[in-house]
């Protein structure tokens, strides 16, 4: 599962963006977590922890790194050279 980073972009016209937030749209955390799960090939998982470190704007490119380990799947998301999200899922999903 570890390997090169997966690159994703949440388009500015994504249906979850209107109202999140008026005047200054940011990508909801749940969309970032969903992108991590898709990059890992997880249909579902148990989120152990997540730390949102900086906002992601619509249209930003996000690089997702996966770090499998015993009983866990760590992840880090970078955007514009900055870590914006890190955390881990239980592995295999419970």
Of 14, 16, 20, 72, catalytic: 20
Q: What fold does the segment set 6-90 form as a domain?
A: Thiol Ester Dehydrase; Chain A (3.10.129)
- Indicate whether 75 pLDDT > 90: yes
| Helix%, strand%, coil% for the chain, nearest 5 | 15, 40, 50
**Angstrom distance (rounded) from CA 94 to CA 79:** 30
pTM of the model: 0.89
CB 35 within 8 A of CB 64: yes
CB 57 within 8 A of CB 25: yes
Q: 3-60: per-residue pLDDT in tens?
A: 678 999 999 899 988 888 888 889 999 999 999 999 998 888 899 999 999 999 999 9
**Angstrom distance (rounded) from CA 90 to CA 72:** 5
Token pair, residue 15, equals 């249906």
Domain ranges of the chain: 6-90
Q: Is 14 one of the catalytic residues?
A: no
pLDDT in the model for residue 49:
97
CB 42 within 8 A of CB 89: yes
């Amino acid at each position: 599962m570890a390997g090169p980073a997966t690159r994703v972009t949440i388009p500015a016209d994504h249906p979850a963006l209107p109202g999140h937030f008026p005047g200054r749209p940011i990508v909801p955390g749940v969309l970032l977590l969903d992108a991590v799960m898709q990059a890992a090939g997880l249909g579902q998982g148990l989120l152990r922890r997540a730390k949102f470190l900086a906002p992601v704007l619509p249209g930003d490119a996000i690089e997702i790194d996966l770090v499998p380990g015993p009983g866990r799947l760590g992840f880090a998301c970078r955007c514009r050279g900055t870590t914006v999200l890190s955390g881990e899922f239980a592995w295999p999903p419970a």
